[in-house]
């Protein structure tokens, strides 16, 4: 791999990280990454009607109730954030 290839890959990665929030960055914690993944998943479930109806049938709930439950889960998808250690 040449130096120009490494620069090109790094610049592409920086571009993706600036354009899409879910791709993360170097300072992203594990908790923040997990929250992004969970929220993206719930948003996808809500946005795709067949998937939403699948969950509604599987849990024996109405589609509106499932949509509401997913939106509530988006608030704190992974629980409260861990305590920060001040350095």
Residue-wise pLDDT tens digits, 12-64? 877 877 777 667 777 788 888 889 889 999 999 999 999 999 999 999 999 99
Q: What is the mean pLDDT of residues 55-77?
A: 96
Quote the pLDDT of residue 86. 63
The domain locations on the chain are 29-76
**Structure-derived torsion over alpha carbons of residues 45, 50, 51, 54, reported in degrees to the nearest 10:** 140
The DSSP code for 85 is: P
Between 23 and 80, where is the model more confident?
80
CB 73 within 8 A of CB 58: no
CA separation, residue 85 to residues 58, 65, 82 (Å)? 41, 39, 9
pTM for the whole structure:
0.73
């Amino acid at each position: 791999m040449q130096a120009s290839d490494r620069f090109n890959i790094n610049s592409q990665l920086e571009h993706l990280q600036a354009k899409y929030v879910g791709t993360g960055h170097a300072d992203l914690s594990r908790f923040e990454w997990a929250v992004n993944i969970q929220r993206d998943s719930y948003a996808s479930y809500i946005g795709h009607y067949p998937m939403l109806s699948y969950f509604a049938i599987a849990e024996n709930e109405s589609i509106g109730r499932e949509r509401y439950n997913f939106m509530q889960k988006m608030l704190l998808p992974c629980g409260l954030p861990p305590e920060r250690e001040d350095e």
